[in-house]
Amino acid sequence: MIEHLLKSVIDSDEAAVVICDLDHTVIYMNPAAVKRYAKRGGAALIGSSLLDCHNADSNEKINRVLEWFRKSEKNNKVFTYHNAAENKDVYMIALRDDTGKLIGYYEKHEYRTPESMKLYDLGNGEA
């Protein structure tokens, strides 16, 4: 049950979520990621190496962060990029099991554009 709820949380996120294992294999992409990376293969990227999608400099940085994650259970989040065009910050986030063991990582996008929706705006009608 909890797995379905967690998958629903990730799938409903409007930001792309690409989850990788420790071998850099893409093991999951939420719908926003499939759409965002459609020109690079979309869902067909699942099962491929994330490193194949990046240049040598980026791959070196990804590997450095992964080694940093391995050094301590406290090493879990690294700011990697600011995208001015989309007004967002990008982070690499460690994924750990219940014992704190590193099991993978993902890229987190945090958009900085203020929300334009009115507070608790439920629309005009009932659904």
**Per-residue pLDDT at 126:** 57
> Is this prediction's pTM over 0.75?
yes
**Per-residue pLDDT at 122:** 83
Domains of the chain: 2-111 (3.30.450.20)
Q: Which amino acid is at 85?
A: A
CB 32 within 8 A of CB 108: no
Coil, helix or strand at residue 40? helix
Q: What tokens appear for 46 in the block?
A: 């699942």
**Per-residue pLDDT at 1:** 85
Q: What is the mean pLDDT of each run of 10 residues along the chain (127 residues)?
A: 92 95 97 96 97 95 97 97 94 97 95 88 69
**Per-residue pLDDT at 114:** 87
29 has which bridge partners?
Answer: 18
Name 40's Cβ contacts closer than 8 Å, sequence gap at least 6: 53
Listed in sequence order, the DSSP H helices in the chain are 2-12, 31-36, 56-71
